[in-house]
Every structure is written in C-alpha cells, then in structure tokens.
Chains A and B, each alone.
Chain A
Amino acid sequence: MRVLIVDDSRLARMALRKALPPALSREVTEAASGSEALRCIEGSRFDLMFLDLTMPDVNGYELLKTLQDTGRMLPTIVVSADVQTLAVERVIKLGAIALVKKSFRSSELDQVLVRAGLL
C-alpha cells in the first residue's frame, strides 16, 4: 500500500511512521505541508493518507475540500490534536474515514485501521 503522511511537524511524521503496522510501512511518502501534499497526489497514486489538521498554509480541512472538489479524494485518516466533536463531524463530512487523536502512546491507530478494513 502506498501511504502518504501529511504533517508540518517532523516529530509527528516520525512518530506516526513508527506507529504504522508493518503492512503499511513499506512505501511511505512524507509531505510537510498541504501544498506539498497536493503536489505529491498530483504526481503519484496513493492508497491511504494520514493528515494533520493544523498546518500553516493549506490546512487539513482545506486540503480535503480541494481533493473533494477536484475529484482526487483518497482514503484518509485524520490524525490531529484537535478532537472536538465538531472537528470530527467536519472531517467526516469532508470525506475522511476517521479522526484519530495524536499521541505518542496511542494504540488507537491499529483499531481504526482494522475497523476501516485497511488491515
């Protein structure tokens, strides 16, 4: 599976990469911003995207909307520090599969992947 990780924090990208199960760790690309992610998606096909919400230029919400509008939507799991109910609703409406709380000690990621049929 070709995986794209989008987050402006290098630490977060490292942590997420480490948390991925082996099945998803073989082909991983990282993007440090919303615009970089768009460029990656335009250039290659990805099977799964992990997306942060709070990024400086094009944030997570905007990226999802752009992908929806241009018909380039791909299976997305939002990984974010912001876990308000309203945030979850917003990202689901924009086409994401789920919202997972960012944490260095979370086992939530595996559960979500299983539920989504990606594992």
Chain B
Amino acid sequence: MTPLLLSEEKRDALRELVNIGMGTAAAALAAALGTFVELTSPGLEVTDRGSVAKQLDTGAWRNSEIEAVRQPFFGAFTGESVMLFDRPAHAELAGMVGYGPESAVVEQQEVLLDVANVVIGACVNGIAESLAELVSFAPPTRLGTRADVRAFLSREAVAWQQGLIVNVDFKLEARSFLSRVLVFLPEPSMLRIDQALSRLLDGLAAG
C-alpha cells in the first residue's frame, strides 16, 4: 500500500478548504430547494481504494440502498468524484423541488445529478480555489446502485490508489440524509495538492 502523502496538518487544512466550499454549496442549494440547508463535512479522510470499499459494507452505509453519481474533473489536478446518497435522500430531494411520487424516475434522478454537481463542485472547487488552481468538470452521470459502485471501485478506480473520503452531512430543516463524497486522485494529482497545500501553509506562517 502506498504510504499516505498528506500530513495531519495538511489534512486539517484540506478539511477546512472543503468546509468553505460546502458553505457556498449550501447557499446555492438553499436557493434551489427553497429551504434552509445545512451542509457540514465533519470528516475528511485520506485513504486507499480498499478501505473505501470496506467502509461501504460496515457502519452507517451497511444497509443503505445506495444511489451514486460520478463526475470526472481535470485541470490542475485530475480525478473523479463519486457522490453517494441513501434512498430516502433520493425521494426527499425530488419532493423538495416539486416532483411528486408519481413523477418519472428520470426526473428524480436528474435532481440527484444536479445536487451532486453542486456538492462535488463545491468540494473540489473549494480545494482548487483556495490553492489558486483551476479545475474543470465533465458532466455528472448516474453511476447506479451498490453493485455498480462496487464494480467501479474494483475495476475503474484502478488508476487511483489514494482517495479522499468526505462525509457530507446533509440537513434540510427537519430532514437529514446520509451522503458521502469520494474523491479519487491519481498519485501525480495528490502530489500537486500536497505541494499546493505546502505553499498555502508556508504563506500563512510567514509574517
């Protein structure tokens, strides 16, 4: 297993950058959903691909029916992000934007894609902007259910040994959902982020 690149200090810094990004996302979602949105990222881990898979089968996600969205990004750092929702999130979010239970599955899926686009954008941009780097996004697409996520992790995530797991607590007024953003980064990109974080921290420490 490749040794994890980021120091504790840098992970703390990343956590804060993601947090800032989440604040912007919350504002946008609040406007879109017409309600108070609380988006907090209480946890950010740097981990390896195997652990990501394992975590889906234990703890809070063990019995969830998962709906997942994937979105690639490129530029100063390249990688792919996957956002996981639990089943209640799917139905509730669709309801919030005015789709009833009789509305088409694809319309409900579109809401998930839109929300994922906002949250993933916030997460990755939160990191990029604060590091004064530029990142662009490809369109989000539906990844699928738990089985599809597993297949993705074993097959397509092969280029990425390390990843970030960002747990996103998603609260809409009284309702709360489980969601998680996974950011997969190939080693060169992890290195670039590590270097950019060094620059940021050095800049802050200096006078």
Verify B15–A86 contact, CB threshold 8 A: no
Q: Report how many residues on chain B are interfacial, defined by Cβ distance under 8 Å.
A: 26
- In this complex, how many residues of chain A approach chain B with their Cβ under 8 Å: the count is 21
Provided the pairs A84-B36, A84-B37 are in contact, do residues A102 and B204 lie with their beta carbons within 8 angstroms? no
Given A10-B12, A11-B12, A15-B204, A83-B27 contact (CB < 8 Å): yes
Residues facing A in B1-56 (CB within 8 A) are: 9, 12-13, 15-17, 19-24, 26-27, 30, 36-40, 42
Contact A81 B130 (CB under 8 A): no
Tell me whether A82 and B9 are in contact in the complex, defined as CB-CB below 8 angstroms, given that A9-B15, A11-B204, A12-B16 are known contacts: no
> Do A104 and B15 have beta carbons less than 8 Å apart?
no
B23 touches A104 (CB 8 A): no
B118 interface residue per 8 A CB criterion = no
List residues of A (11-69) whose CB comes within 8 Å of B's CBs.
11-12, 14-15, 18, 54, 56
Does B20 lie within 8 Å of A102, measured CB to CB? Answer: yes
Contact of A102 among B23, B36, B38, B40 (CB under 8 A): B23
Whether the Cβ atoms of A54 and B30 lie closer than 8 Å is no
What is the predominant secondary structure among interface residues of chain B facing chain A?
helix
Does B96 sit at the interface, judged by CB under 8 A?
A: no
A81 to B24, CA, bound (A): 7
Query: How far is A10 from B201 in the complex, measured between Cα atoms in Å?
Result: 11
B205 at the A interface (CB under 8 A):
yes
A9 touches B16 (CB 8 A): yes
Task: List CB contacts (< 8 Å) of B131-182 with chain A.
Answer: none
Min distance, Cβ A92 to any Cβ of chain B, angstroms: 15
Given contacts A9-B16, A12-B16, A56-B42, contact A83 B205 (CB under 8 A): no
Interface centre among A10, A54, A82, A101 (most CB of B within 10 A): A82
Q: 0/1 per residue, B193-207, Cβ < 8 Å to A?
A: 000000011001100
Residues of A83-109 whose CB lies within 8 A of B? 83-87, 101-104
Which residues of A are interface residues toward B (Cβ below 8 A)? 9-12, 14-15, 18, 54, 56, 80-87, 101-104
Q: Besides A81-B19, A84-B27, A103-B130, 9 other CB < 8 A contacts?
A: A9-B19, A11-B204, A81-B22, A81-B26, A82-B23, A82-B38, A84-B36, A86-B36, A102-B20
9 shortest A-B CB distances, which residue pairs?
A81-B23, A9-B16, A11-B13, A81-B20, A82-B23, A11-B16, A14-B204, A84-B30, A86-B36
